[in-house]
Amino acid sequence: MYNLKVFKKLKSASNNLIIVGKNMSKFKDKTILVTGASSGIGLAMAKDFANRGANLILTARSKDKLDQLASELEARGTSAKVFIEDISVPNSAQKLYNQIKAEQIDVDILVNNAGYGRWGTFDECPVEDYENMIHLNITSLTELSYLFLEDMEKKGSGGIINVASVAAFYSIPYSAVYAATKAYVLSLSEALNFEYSRKGIHIMAVCPGATESEFVNVATVSSERLQKRLSAMQDNKNVKIQSAEDCSKEALDAFENGKIYIITGRSNRNLYSLSRLFSRKRLLNWVGRRFKKISG
């Protein structure tokens, strides 16, 4: 009888160990580089990764914000390194990569989160601003992916999370360049995942909709008129805006489950499913009229 009791206890303990193993995060003890980590989705992701046992490399332009975040994470037992870099300018991706390699840090997962958009008529924004946006949203994202994928391929493991947008699925008048850059991010992510998944590397695109962040302030920085209109929209209780924390949770869960892309927010997924019932012309007219109310 005594031996039977001992056996039952050992079996129970064994089952518990198996359960713990299954629930253990794939991010535990991984080193993760997050661009644009000082605010919004990037900030929420950095904290979420830390909660899942990862070590962080944080980069953005704001030193004070990153230092504060790193201190907060380290106080909770998470290793956090800070690299200040503005990756919207030429050669910045290579510079960031060189700094990380000089510190002999091995990146397991790259999160290309940094990006911004502009709302308004096409000629309302200086062409130089579009050039910076394209460099940040496309060029630096591509360069960082290229550089770190070489390292990941050598060790046969790794991953990339590219933050796109639900705008990637539509042509969006009055936000034409931004939507086009995010369509590139989604397309690139899916294609690279096909190429590299057989090499042990997982690449996923995250497609958020309206999310609590500084996006609106940045997108309307040159237009007080747009700021007022969008502020009124945010105050509308019928407009559903997802928190950055909820967006991060959905994204990281999706990556751990092997998804190729994720549209975060149920309302965004429902809207996308509905949009597939319409022709591109009809959808363009609907989206155009909606954004004209904001920007026109």
Report in angstroms the alpha-carbon separations of 210 from 20, 152, 214, 251, 267: 35, 32, 11, 15, 10
What is the count of structural domains for the chain? 1
Task: Report the distance separating Cα 211 and Cα 203, nearest Å.
Answer: 22
Domain presence at residue 21: no
* Cβ pair 147, 194 in contact under 8 A: no
* Cβ pair 82, 64 in contact under 8 A: no
* pLDDT-based confidence at residue 229 (cuts at 50, 70, 90): low
Give the CATH number, domain containing residue 199: 3.40.50.720
Domain presence at residue 42: yes
pLDDT value of position 290: 87
* Cβ pair 154, 136 in contact under 8 A: no
Domain presence at residue 2: no
pLDDT value of position 11: 41
Domain presence at residue 217: yes
Domain presence at residue 5: no
Q: Give the pLDDT confidence of 232-267 residue by residue, as tens digits.
A: 555 555 557 889 999 999 999 999 999 999 999 999
Domain presence at residue 22: no
Mean pLDDT of 209-232: 58
Query: How buried is 24 (Cβ within 10 angstroms: 0-12 exposed, 13-18 middle, 19+ buried)?
Result: exposed
Q: Give the pLDDT confidence of 83-127 residue by residue, as tens digits.
A: 999 999 999 999 999 999 999 999 999 999 999 998 889 998 999
Instruction: Check residues 24 and 216 and name the one with the higher pLDDT.
Output: 24
* Cβ pair 206, 242 in contact under 8 A: no
130 is annotated as an active-site residue = no
Residue 104 domain boundaries: 28-295
Query: Which of the following is catalytic: 170, 178, 184, 196?
Result: 178
Which residue, among 176, 152, 244, has the nearest Cα to 206 in the 3D structure?
A: 244
CA dihedral 26, 245, 19, 110 (to 10 degrees): 0
Phi, psi dihedral angles at 58 (to 5 degrees): -110, 130
Task: Report the distance separating Cα 254 and Cα 245, nearest Å.
Answer: 14
pLDDT for 224 beyond 50: yes
Domain presence at residue 18: no
* pLDDT-based confidence at residue 291 (cuts at 50, 70, 90): confident
Phi, psi dihedral angles at 21 (to 5 degrees): -60, -40
Beta strand 109-112 pairing with 80-84: unpaired
pTM above 0.75, yes or no: yes
